[in-house]
Every structure is written in structure tokens, then in C-alpha cells.
Amino acid sequence: MSLGVYNGVLTGMQNGAYAGTDIGVASGTATEFFDADIPRRNLLSYIDMGNRAVYPINSTGLLGRDLTTSTAGLTLVAPFTFEYLNKGCIRFPGTSTSQRLSTAFTTTIVGGPTSNFTFGGWFQVARMDGTKEGNFFNRGRDGSGLGWSLLVGTDANGFFRVGSVTSSPTPVGNVFTTTVQAALNTWYHILGIHENGVGLSIYVNGVFIGFQSFTGTSLRTSGIGWAWGANSANPGSQFDGRAAITYAWERILSPNEIMQVFLAHKQRFLKP
């Protein structure tokens, strides 16, 4: 499985293919990158295992990369497997605290510490027995307790949640766990919203689920950018389930935009 990579600028020719706007490269062949309904303003990260698209990988232009390697700005740490389910996804077994797929930690990719964010994607949980958290996508990941700064997914019992760690006025973890529970091995589209100094919101399948206020500002930093699979190296944090698409914006998407993003891939995951 190879990935097409687009860094948002015109870079001429790479691997024998035109590297222009909305074009990805997979094994040297030009392919479409974006779905038309994915808002591009302030888009920080977009990874789609089905379309073999990753944005942005690094600052050097368009590159074709294989999923099994840790190159061009992506770090991939086993164990995980690629599956062709729903055009393509990654299956995380939840057996290792080191499992992850992550981007480099740079401001252009992860956004600023005092910014607002909308982040999430398509995922499903394979375990809800109270032992494994369902945080499939997060900003930052390391082994120092609150190593992450943003997360979205479910708790260990399958209830949807979104969280942040702010460092001002004092370091504090803010986690909003809803009363809405996921079903096992079922695809969901989930987006979390972090409004700096105001609170956390969560949308599931395009529908607003809830909001929780907080007053903290300035997100904690980490040596890892946006990551799939585990929010820290602590036991129990590793994700047991599947992820297929993630995206992150350095702004708050409107309810109409959130519904638009959900509908962009609805037919792929939620067939009638």
C-alpha cells in the first residue's frame, strides 16, 4: 500500500508525475487528492487510507511512500495492519503502547498552542470492556502522563469523548465524556472542537452531541504531532479498533461544514 502525498504548493515534477494543486502521487502515478467537500481553509492534516492521500507530509514537495516505512514526515510504529475494508483502513490491535501512525511536530502541521481546532475522522472501536481507551486520533503523544494535548474517540467503555491539556494558568487535563455510547465494530464519523479558553464540543455523524466549558489556555506541546493509535505510552491508552480517515483544522468548522465533511464519505462507511 502506497500513499499519495500533497503539501499544498506547486512543486513541479516529482517521481514523473505533476505535483500541482489537488494532485496526489501513489507509486509515481498522478491521482486525485481531495474530495471536493473537504474544506481546505486552515487544514493542517488529512490522511485517507482509501484514497492513499496524506497532507502534508513534509516541506520538500510531493513524494510517493509505502505504508510500511517511516519516511517523509510520517512515523509508523507496529503493530498494525492495513485492511481493504471500506476501501482501506488501519487495524490497531491494542497490544502495544508504542503503536502509532504520527506526523512530525511542526507548527505548520500541528497548529499553534493558543489556536482553535476541529479534528477527528472515521473510526470504529473493537473493544469496550473497560480496559482499552478508544482514543484513535490525538495531537501529541509521549509517555509523561498528559503527553497529549488534544484527543478524540471514546473512553474504555465506548462513550464518545473529546479532550485537551492546557498549560495556563496551570497544567490541567480537560476531558468531556458524553453519555452517548458507540456500538462495537461500527463506523462513526467524529469531530471534536477545541475552542481555546472556552470549551470542548463533539459531533458524531454530523450531529452536535454536547459541550463542556473550561478556562484553560495554551495547549501542551509534545515531540509528536497528530497521531493515530495511542495518546501516550501508558498502559491502557493504546487503541483497539480501526481508523480510515483523519483531518485537523486550525479553526472551528461551522455546523454546515461539519455536516458537509460527514457527507463527503458517508456512502463509503454507512451504506444504506
**Spatial distance between the Cα atoms of 195 and 119, rounded to a whole number of angstroms:** 12
Burial call 133-153: b when 16+ CB within 10 Å, e when fewer: bbbbbbbbbbeeebbbbbbbb
Burial call 227-242: b when 16+ CB within 10 Å, e when fewer: bbbbbbbbeebbbbbb
Of the two residues 247 and 46, the one the predictor is more confident about is 247
Share of the chain above pLDDT 70, in %: 71
How high is the mean pLDDT of the chain?
77
Q: Tell me the residue range of the domain where 235 lies.
A: 2-269
- pLDDT of 233 reads 62
pTM, full prediction: 0.82
**Spatial distance between the Cα atoms of 137 and 14, rounded to a whole number of angstroms:** 30
Q: Which of 14-18, 69-73, 89-93 has the highest mean pLDDT?
A: 89-93
In degrees to the nearest 10, what's the CA dihedral of 51, 57, 60, 63?
Answer: -30
For residue 152, what are the β-bridge partners?
A: 137, 162
Number of domains forming the structure of the chain: 1
The half-sphere exposure of 1 on its side-chain side, counting CA atoms within 13 A, is 17
Q: Evaluate whether 4 touches 17 at the Cβ level (below 8 Å).
A: no
For residue 45, what are the β-bridge partners?
A: 248
**Spatial distance between the Cα atoms of 188 and 185, rounded to a whole number of angstroms:** 9
- pLDDT of 73 reads 57
Share of the chain above pLDDT 90, in %: 38
- 70 to 3, 161, 204: CA distances (angstroms): 12, 29, 31
Which CATH number do you get for residue 197?
A: 2.60.120.200
